[in-house]
Amino acid sequence: MPSAQAKCPACGRRYRPDPASAYRPFCSERCQLIDLGGWLSERHAIPGEAAEVPTAAKPGDEDP
């Protein structure tokens, strides 16, 4: 029995990669979307949050 198993980088599950699969190196389309979505949202959240902090963090700091 050939051990042609791979580990999905999204869910960490072991699966048998299909050479014809379009979701490699992920085990399924779901995991591909999860990984891609998480990566995008993470990248998107950092500049978005940092840009909102200076304007919304100190509303009453300019009070003399």
CB of 24 to Zn ion, least distance (A): 11
Instruction: List binders of Zn ion among 30-49 (CB under 5 A).
Output: 31
Minimum distance from residue 10 beta carbon to Zn ion (Å): 5
- Judged by CB under 5 A, the stretch of 12-20, 38-46, 48-56 that binds Zn ion is 12-20
Give the span between the Cα atoms of 10 and 48, in whole angstroms: 24
Helices (H), the chain: 29-56
What are 59's two structure tokens?
A: 């509303």
Q: Which amino acid is at 21?
A: S
Binding residues among 13-32 for Zn ion as defined by CB under 5 A: 13, 27, 31
57: β partners: none
Which residues here bind Zn ion, judged by CB under 5 A?
Answer: 8, 10-11, 13, 27, 31
